Amino acid sequence: MVSFVATPIGNLKDITLRALETLKEADVVFCEDTRHTLKLLNAYEIRKPLFACHKFNEREAAEKILSASREGKRVAVVSDAGTPVVSDPGNLVCRALREAGEPYTLIPGPSAFVAALVLSALPADKFAFLGFLPEKQSERRALLEKYAALDMTLVFHSAPQDVDRDIRSLYESFGERRAAAVREITKIHEESAEFLLSEGLPGEKRGEYVLVVEGAKETGNPLNALSEREHILHYMREGLDKKEALKRAAKDRGVSKSELYPYSVDL
């Protein structure tokens, strides 16, 4: 049996009794970073053979895990923090086990994006988790445009060096919206800061962030949920020249072309 085990996202006391039991009974543990997982196991006096399973070797690790499972060994798979597979390695392993008909299960536990959603105080009845935004600007825009019109809260992971860039991209695609930046979840300096996308997030960026953004307001035309610039770009990507795209976007929004013109100058 292979068990995917959720581990603490900051506070070691958040590990569950089932997770500890599974790790103690495992014959082998596959982990994202052996040094990181060793600290967790040492804290609970658990001694197990550790093998790497990260994004650079996941296919090879999947073969080893599959082989161990077939031999009847009890295998635990963990990531550095939170639930394996979710914005972390593990999906290829899951797929290999399913296709081979080998049993596997999840030992649930801490989740950074769920905790951030609660701490943000934004609506949590409907939401979409989109992980980390793409590195390329064109890919970020394409992704965000797909979700701009959704009337549900959107949740993203963001590395400290990317937070300002990601917030700018969110504002360019969504226009003005409320958002929250949550960091150091479950730790002493846990913080949930609410802000407007146009304002950005002041101060030095430290630690991993979860960005939570309110959904689109109800509008007659879903394209109106886009920022003015992205609305014009939408039509240009469909093949219209800038003049016609500006005209179409103005009509959608019920405003004059001159009102939208400043958003098209650099297009």
What is the DSSP code string of 113-127? Answer: HHHHHHHH-S--SSE
Give the distance from CA 166 to its chain's centroid.
Answer: 12
pLDDT for the residue numbered 51: 98
260 pLDDT higher than 90: no
What are the residue ranges spanned by the domains of the chain? Answer: 2-110, 113-213, 227-264
pLDDT for the residue numbered 175: 86
pLDDT for the residue numbered 53: 98
Q: What average pLDDT does the structure give for the chain?
A: 94
122 pLDDT higher than 80: yes
Higher pLDDT, 254 or 202: 202
Six-digit token string for 116: 């951030």
Q: What distance in Å separates the CA atoms of residue 225 and residue 106, rounded to the nearest whole number?
A: 38
Helix, strand, coil share (%) of the chain residues, nearest 5: 45, 20, 40
Q: What distance in Å separates the CA atoms of residue 112 and residue 183, rounded to the nearest whole number?
A: 9
Nearest in space to 87 (alpha carbons), one of 10, 138, 158: 158
Nearest in space to 14 (alpha carbons), one of 83, 75, 77: 83
The pLDDT of 18-38, averaged and rounded, is 98
pLDDT for the residue numbered 257: 81
pLDDT for the residue numbered 265: 85
What's the one-letter identity of residue 138?
S
The pLDDT of 219-225, averaged and rounded, is 71
Q: How many other CB atoms are there within 10 angstroms of residue 29's CB atom?
A: 25
Instruction: Name, of 53-57, 252-256, 261-265, the range with top average pLDDT.
Output: 53-57
Q: How many other CB atoms are there within 10 angstroms of residue 92's CB atom?
A: 18
Do 113-213 and 2-110 have the same topology in CATH? no
Split at pLDDT 50, 70, 90, the class of 248 is confident
**SS3 for 93-111, per residue?**
HHHHHHHHCCCEEEECCCC
Per-residue pLDDT tens over the stretch 158-212 = 999 999 999 999 998 898 899 999 999 999 999 999 999 999 998 889 999 999 9
pLDDT for the residue numbered 218: 66
240 pLDDT higher than 70: yes
Higher pLDDT, 102 or 242: 102
CATH 3.40.50.1100 fits 113-213, yes or no: no
pLDDT for the residue numbered 220: 61
2-110 fold: Cobalt-precorrin-4 Transmethylase; domain 1 (3.40.1010)
pLDDT for the residue numbered 160: 97
Six-digit token string for 67: 């082989």
Per-residue pLDDT tens over the stretch 92-108 = 999 999 999 999 999 99
pLDDT for the residue numbered 219: 60
pLDDT for the residue numbered 249: 87
Q: What percent of the chain has pLDDT over 90?
A: 76
Higher pLDDT, 250 or 120: 120
